Structure 1
Amino acid sequence: MQAKSDSGELTVTERARRTQIIAAAIETVAELGYSRATYRQIAARAGLSSTGLISYHFANRAELVTEVVRDVLARFGAFVVERLDEHETAPEQLRAFLTAQIDFSRGNRASMLALRRIQADTEITDSQTRTFAELVESDHAALAELLRQGIRRGEFRDFDPDAMALFVFALRDGVLSRLHDAAPAELDVIRQELATMIDLATRR
């Protein structure tokens, strides 16, 4: 076992091992589902000699899965924000917001499938439920504000930004729930049609 540093921070080796375990857990949950993803299967996929190495880094299975959720959401959020920062107008940012999520999902299918399977499982913990709820609330507030700014600047037609945000997320969630079954060519069509649909709904 690797001891923590004097400051209580994780060592480089510990951080690398946690990352390795989280990546293996993502792949295992994506393949088998949340309920069937055991420590033994995760350890085997990570190339670990013992499940004890997982127990050393994570207090229990719920903590590991919560870290999986945080890891996927952090990478997902950073990817989307980076795309948004490339644009200035509200319509451009709205399109980037939607297409970036499809692009991330296309390049990270296992991560997004694992996330959906965790969300759908009846054994989900309070901690994971709070993580998802906080994300939904934060995303809704951010998108509603983007729409509100676009309306104020005359870039969008006049509509209720909170209601429109709900519609946008409903469409997005429906698309993301089907992406793992779509071929690359289909994803390009879905990406374009989703962006066009939202553009038609919001443009002046």
Structure 2
Amino acid sequence: MNTKSQKRRLQIIEDAIQVLVEEGYANASIGNIAKKGGISKGVVTYHFRNKMQLMKAVVEYCYGLAAPYMEKFMDGSDSAPATLRAYIESNLRFMYEHRAYVTAIIEVVSNLRTETGELFYQNEDESIYEPLVEIFKWGQETEGSFRQFSPHIMARTVRSVIDSLGTKIANQDISDKEDMISEIVDTFDYATRKITK
């Protein structure tokens, strides 16, 4: 794919995100997305065969932007507890700084359906837990900085808390961002730390 084609593809995804944010999933038709970008429907369908393909690309794009953002926060962390704190904080800060992307993901994940009418994203992608599982195993098996618990269950718990805040953050329903981030980071710090007598 050449650079011009890549730019057009990314612009269509960004236009789709704007339509999802401003008008919701029901109105995020190929026609409305094309109108938002000032292009024809044919240009959109040249890059994305149908709405499902475009909506999947929106989700992949938004998640893809979060990864490098979080890595910058986590790069300087020299221990498992510090890395866990950086993971949680960077994830929440990304959501605050990119509310449109959070809203777009929520709209797609809550509405995109298969041909049989089932939610497309109803089955969890287990790979989302792997970074946390690795952090927990590092803290338990290598450093001894974390107490004994199931890394998989704790990873699900952390993700569940972060993901549950998506709608509130997107809707600006949380008044004190810094207090909320600090509270959640501290909660999992206490929940995972090894208690020494």
The alignment's TM-score, normalised by the length of structure 2, stands at: 0.87
Q: Aligned pair 1:26/2:38, yes or no? A: no
Q: CA–CA distance in 1 between the matches of 2:108 and 2:114?
A: 7
Contact (CA 8 Å) 1:66, 1:128: kept in 2 or not? Answer: no
Tell me the secondary structure at the aligned position of residue 144 of structure 2: coil
Kindly state the Cα deviation for residue 21 of structure 1 after the two structures are TM-superposed: 0.5
For residue 199 of structure 1, what is the amino acid of its counterpart? D
**Residue 197 (structure 1) aligns with:** 187
Kindly state the Cα deviation for residue 124 of structure 1 after the two structures are TM-superposed: 5.3
**Residue 139 (structure 2) aligns with:** 150
Kindly state the Cα deviation for residue 127 of structure 1 after the two structures are TM-superposed: 10
**Residue 95 (structure 2) aligns with:** 105
- Runs of 4+ in structure 1 off by over 4 angstroms are 124-128
Distance 1:112 1:90, change over 3 A: same
Q: CA–CA distance in 2 between the matches of 1:184 and 1:43?
A: 34
Kindly state the Cα deviation for residue 87 of structure 1 after the two structures are TM-superposed: 0.9
Q: CA–CA distance in 1 between the matches of 2:121 and 2:110?
A: 11
Of 138, 157, 172, the match for 1:182? 172
Q: CA–CA distance in 1 between the matches of 2:160 and 2:49?
A: 35
**Residue 12 (structure 1) aligns with:** 3
Correspondences of 1:24-103 after superposition (within 5 Å)? 24-48=15-39, 50-103=40-93
Distance 1:124 1:73, change over 3 A: farther
Gap regions ≥5 residues in structure 1: 1-9
Tell me the secondary structure at the aligned position of residue 30 of structure 1: helix
Contact (CA 8 Å) 1:29, 1:117: kept in 2 or not? Answer: yes
**Residue 138 (structure 1) aligns with:** 127
Q: CA–CA distance in 2 between the matches of 1:172 and 1:13?
A: 36
Q: CA–CA distance in 2 between the matches of 1:124 and 1:113?
A: 21
Kindly state the Cα deviation for residue 169 of structure 1 after the two structures are TM-superposed: 1.5
**Residue 3 (structure 1) aligns with:** none
Kindly state the Cα deviation for residue 13 of structure 1 after the two structures are TM-superposed: 1.4
For residue 33 of structure 2, what is the amino acid of its counterpart? I
Q: Aligned pair 1:129/2:121, yes or no? A: yes
The alignment's TM-score, normalised by the length of structure 1, stands at: 0.85
Q: CA–CA distance in 1 between the matches of 2:152 and 2:187?
A: 18
Q: Aligned pair 1:160/2:150, yes or no? A: yes
**Deviating more after overlay: 115-124 vs 94-103:** 115-124
Kindly state the Cα deviation for residue 164 of structure 1 after the two structures are TM-superposed: 1.4
Tell me the secondary structure at the aligned position of residue 129 of structure 1: coil
Distance 1:80 1:127, change over 3 A: farther
For residue 202 of structure 1, what is the amino acid of its counterpart? T
Q: CA–CA distance in 1 between the matches of 2:174 and 2:111?
A: 28
Aligned length: 191
